[in-house]
Amino acid sequence: GQQLNQSPQSMFIQEGEDVSMNCTSSSIFNTWLWYKQDPGEGPVLLIALYKAGELTSNGRLTAQFGITRKDSFLNISASIPSDVGIYFCAGIPLVSRGGSNYKLTFGKGTLLTVNP
Amino acid sequence: DAEITQSPRHKITETGRQVTLACHQTWNHNNMFWYRQDLGHGLRLIHYSYGVQDTNKGEVSDGYSVSRSNTEDLPLTLESAASSQTSVYFCASSESPGFGYTFGSGTRLTVV
C-alpha cells in the first residue's frame, strides 16, 4: 500500500528558530493534511491542502502541496515552547477509476522539542 | 458542541482478559476508525467502519474486533489481551477524509 516517508524523525531547536519538515511518497496524493499531537492528547488538524502547488498558512505555520503531488512541506516560523509535540503528515492517495478510498495514510511523525 | 470521547483514559488489565475500549461521537459521522500508537510506528490502523453494520480490518487487526450497531459508537474489543497490545489507542471519526479526521483523546492500555 501507499506509504508516507516523514522527515526528520525528531528535531531539537531553540525558541525563535524556524522549523521545516516534509513528507514524501512514491505515489500521487490528492489531499495532504498536517496534524499536531500535544503530549497526552489526540492529533489535531492544522492545515489541509487540496491542489498541487497550493500554499496555505495558519498563523506561524505554512504548508505546501508539492507540484509533483508526491510530497508536502510544513514550516513553522519563530518557534515557541508550545509548539512542542508530534507533527504528522497525512494524505489521501489517488485511486484508480471505480475505486474508493476513505482512509488517510499517515506518516510516522516528527517529534519537535523547543528549548526556551 | 459535537465531540468524540474515549473511555476509559487509562486502563490496566491482565494477560488473557477480554477488554473493551469505548468510542462515542456526536458529529453524526459515518466513518469511524481505531488506531494504535507506538513509539517508532506512528499511527497504525486497527479497524474501521463506513457506517452501521459495516466493519473492516486494518493493517494490525489480529486480536482485535469491532462492531457498529449505531452511528455514534464503535467499541474496540481485545479478545484475549496480550502484552504486545500495551499501547495508546485512538478513535477517530470523519465525514469525509478530505476534511480530515477528528480524534479522541486516547486510551492508554497496559497489559500486565
**Is A103 within 8 Å of B48 when comparing Cβ atoms?**
yes
The closest CB to that of B100, out of A40, A45, A103, belongs to A45
Rounded-to-integer distance, Cα B73 and Cα B22, Å = 7
Residue of A nearest to B4 (CA): A42
The alpha carbon of residue B106 is apart from the nearest alpha carbon of chain A, in Å, by 6
10 Å Cβ neighbour count for A35? 25
Percent of chain B whose predicted confidence (pLDDT) is above 70: 100
Helix (H) or strand (E) holding B86: none
CA atoms within 13 A on the CB side of A56: 16
Tell me what the mean pLDDT of segment B45-50 comes to. Answer: 95
Tell me what the mean pLDDT of segment B49-57 comes to. Answer: 95
pLDDT of residue A103: 80
**Is B104 within 8 Å of A31 when comparing Cβ atoms?**
no
Using the predicted structure, report yes or no on whether residue B100 has a pLDDT greater than 90.
no
Which residues does chain A have within 8 Å of residue B105's beta carbon, measured at their own beta carbons?
A: 40-42
Taking the CA atoms of residue A116, residue A85, residue B21 and residue B16 in that order, the dihedral angle to the nearest 10 degrees is -90
**Is A106 within 8 Å of B43 when comparing Cβ atoms?**
yes
pLDDT of residue B20: 98
pLDDT of residue B93: 96
* pLDDT tens per residue, range B56-79: 999 999 999 999 999 999 999 999
pLDDT of residue B41: 85
pLDDT of residue A94: 78
pLDDT, one tens digit for every residue, chain A (116 residues): 568 999 999 999 999 999 999 999 998 998 999 999 999 999 999 999 999 999 999 999 999 999 999 999 999 999 999 999 999 999 988 765 445 566 888 999 999 999 99
